[in-house]
Amino acid sequence: MRPILTMTSEGPWFHKISHAQELEQTQWNRYEQGFLQFHENVLVFRYLPTTADERSLVEKYYPEIRLEAAKGRPVTFDCEKITFEQWEAPVYYSEIRNMTTEREWGKPWLNLTVERNGSCDVWTLPLSQKENAQRRLFEVLQNYFGRYTAAAEY
């Protein structure tokens, strides 16, 4: 059996299958596409984008998303930061040290402890009263911050 299994020949069976070469090429193409897809997925969690190509790849999977905060005001997430109109500047994931939520007088808030220029401050994001909007915001925050954290640890 060993000589038969280690033969490099295609064997007579290959020629008995109509379109065998096309079928084999189709299978290889699928395999290569799957491999490339897997490789891209891995790279997305390794890159802290420093080049246009790296940023393009990360943004392919983590595009800019605009969501709703309290009173319908927009909050934007991208692969490196969160932007909210009431903040003086965007908050970069690299600056976030802690996140908590609270309710004050029935109004939900997200508190981000941000370390910038050697000091820590709490930046608040008033959340929408809509459960769906809150759930979506937390889902996006978890995914985007989690991707950043994985890349930073790598």
pLDDT value of residue 37: 87
DSSP SS3 for 4: helix
Residue ranges covered by each domain of the chain = 19-61, 62-153
Q: List Cα–Cα distances, 59 to 44, 48, 55, 96, 142, in angstroms.
A: 9, 11, 6, 20, 16
Rounded to whole angstroms, the Cα distance separating 70 from 75 reads 10
62-66, 104-108, 140-144, range with the lowest pLDDT: 104-108
Question: Considering only the top CATH level, what class is 62-153?
Answer: mainly beta
Which pLDDT belongs to residue 1? Answer: 74
Q: What is the pLDDT of residues 113-141, one digit of tens each?
A: 999 999 999 999 999 999 999 999 999 99
pLDDT digits (tens, 9 = 90+) for 43-93: 999 999 999 999 999 999 999 999 999 999 999 999 999 999 999 999 999
In this predicted model, what pLDDT tens digit does every residue of 19-49 receive, in sequence order? 888 888 888 889 888 888 888 999 999 999 9
Lowest mean pLDDT segment, chosen from 13-22, 73-82, 99-108: 13-22
Q: Considering the entire predicted model, what is its pTM? A: 0.79
List the one residue out of 90, 70, 67 whose CA is nearest residue 142. 67
Whether pLDDT at 11 is above 70: no
How far apart CA 31 and CA 10 sit, in angstroms, is 20
